[in-house]
Amino acid sequence: MYGWYLGLVLLVAAERVAELVVSLRNARWSFAQGGVESGRGHYPFMVALHTLLLAACMVEALHRPFIPWLGWTMFAVVLLAQGLRWWCISVLGHQWNTRVIVVPGLRLVARGPYRWIRHPNYVAVVAEGIALPLVHTAWVTALVFTLLNIPILAIRIRSEEAALKSALVT
């Protein structure tokens, strides 16, 4: 089962590269519209943590069994998290980014998953950070990622909220 899991982790890594391509395109658009970037200090730590998540999944899974009832359930959660992430990306359009870049004067998006929750992409991040390692019983990776992600998400959300408050029309 490890080979299949390795393939899954590599697919998630490819998805991250696709996100970065979209993010770079959207950043160019945002800056061309007068966008302002905030919260740059936490970004390298966030990128490093997400990269380490993928590496740790592959390493720890070498030493863990695949438990079908857990693995398949967590695989479903990973798929749902990816779906939610790309729903967020499609709803935000040019305004979505991996960085905190806000174009002054734009309206706050309140459709799609944003109708129900302020930061739905972070629901996907948390779900995936727990589920992806647990697909192959990498519980240490799930736990450590989650604990390290809490302060980064707190900083990130505060940064986004401050940027949105100062720049967007509600």
Provide the CA 139 distance to its chain's centre, in angstroms: 19
pLDDT digits (tens, 9 = 90+) for 60-88: 999 999 999 999 999 999 999 999 999 99
- Tell me what pLDDT residue 51 has: 97
Specify the DSSP element, H or E, that contains 37: strand 36-38
pLDDT digits (tens, 9 = 90+) for 32-56: 999 999 989 999 999 999 999 999 9
The rounded distance, in Å, linking the Cα atoms of 84 and 131 is: 14
Query: What angle (nearest 5°) sits at the alpha carbon of residue 36, between those of residues 102 and 19?
Result: 55
Phi/psi of residue 3, nearest 5 degrees:
-60, -40
pLDDT at 141 over 90: yes
State whether the Cα torsion 53-58-60-65 is positive or negative. Answer: positive
The rounded distance, in Å, linking the Cα atoms of 102 and 115 is: 19
Residue 167 confidence class, pLDDT cut points 50, 70, 90: confident
- Tell me what pLDDT residue 107 has: 87
- Tell me what pLDDT residue 170 has: 53
- Please give the mean pLDDT across all residues of the chain: 95
pLDDT at 154 over 90: yes
- Tell me what pLDDT residue 169 has: 60
- Tell me what pLDDT residue 143 has: 98
pLDDT at 166 over 90: no
Question: Which residue in the block uniquely carries the two structure tokens 């519209």?
Answer: 33
The rounded distance, in Å, linking the Cα atoms of 112 and 31 is: 25
Whole-structure pTM value: 0.93
pLDDT at 164 over 90: no
The rounded distance, in Å, linking the Cα atoms of 19 and 76 is: 21
pLDDT digits (tens, 9 = 90+) for 109-132: 999 999 999 999 999 999 999 999
- Could you say which of 2.60.40.10, 1.20.120.1630, 3.40.50.300, 3.40.1160.10 is the CATH number of the domain covering 2-167? 1.20.120.1630
pLDDT at 168 over 80: no
Mean pLDDT for 12-23 is: 98
